[in-house]
Amino acid sequence: MTDMAVDASVHLGHWEEAVGYGEKTLPVYRQYYPDPHPVHGVQLMRVGKLQHYLEHIEDALDTFKQAYRIVKLTHGDDHPMTTDLLMKMEECRSETVQRSSSSHKKEKKL
C-alpha cells in the first residue's frame, strides 16, 4: 500500500511526501526481502534518488551505499544499475564537497 503512495506522490510531484513514504517502506522491505535481495536494493535506490532530488545529500549517499552493497552482489559489478549507483554516490560526494567549500567561502566573507 505504501508503495502505491510513493508512486502516486511521485506522479503528482509531491516529492517530500514521496520520500517520506519511501523511507517508511525500507524497514518492511528489509524484513520481507532480506539482504542481499534485489528488490530491497532497487527500493533503496528509488528512495536514494528521491532524497538526492530533494537535496538531502547525506541521506541519499547513505541510502545509495546500502543499495550498492546489495546490487553489487545481486547484479554484478558491470550491471548498469551498479554503475549508476557508483555515479550517484560520486555525485553526492561532489555535492558535499561543493557545499562545504561554499560555506567556507561565505564564512570568510563575514
**pLDDT given at position 86:** 98
Which candidate, 1, 11, 91, 79, places its Cα nearest to that of 49? 91
pLDDT computed for residue 23 by the predictor: 98
Task: Give pLDDT tens digits along the chain (110 positions).
Answer: 899 999 999 999 999 999 999 999 999 999 999 999 999 999 999 999 999 999 999 999 999 999 999 999 999 999 999 999 999 999 999 999 998 888 766 666 65
Helix (H) or strand (E) segment spanning residue 42:
helix 38-53
| Residue from 22, 21, 16, 43 nearest 32 by CA | 43
Domains of the chain (ranges, CATH numbers):
2-109 (1.25.40.10)
